[in-house]
Amino acid sequence: MGKRPSDAVVETLAAANDTDPVDLEPPLYESIDLEALDALVESTSQSLTLEFTHAGHTVRVDESGAVTLVSADYAPEDGDEPPTRISTR
């Protein structure tokens, strides 16, 4: 069994902020219910994208548990792709 979706989000956010996952501020649970995130992603057999904001990032989690982060201060210019950090379970 792979890691829980909430763990993948914490690890990806920590890497983006160059910090240890246990030192992530604010804690992820202040933005989203971690048990609900895990249950929703792990129980679906349909296409799913869950999106929320946390600590200056837009966080997207898909049905496979893959995590995509986009900085909330990203302003696209001329169709540029946003800088992202992606993690898979």
Per-residue pLDDT of the chain (89 residues; tens, 9 = 90+): 578 999 999 999 999 889 999 999 999 999 999 999 999 999 988 999 999 999 889 999 999 899 999 887 766 665 666 656 666 55
3-class state of residue 29 by DSSP: helix
Q: Look at residue 73 in the predicted model and tell me its pLDDT.
A: 73
Q: Look at residue 45 in the predicted model and tell me its pLDDT.
A: 84
Q: What residues are paired with 69 via a beta bridge?
A: 59, 85
Q: Look at residue 40 in the predicted model and tell me its pLDDT.
A: 93
**CB contact at 8 A, 21 and 11:** yes
Q: Look at residue 82 in the predicted model and tell me its pLDDT.
A: 63
User: Can you tell me which residue has the tokens 């057999």?
Assistant: 45
Full-model pTM: 0.82
Residue 69 has phi, psi (to 5 degrees) of -115, 140
Question: How far, in Å, CA of 13 to CA of 19, rounded?
Answer: 9
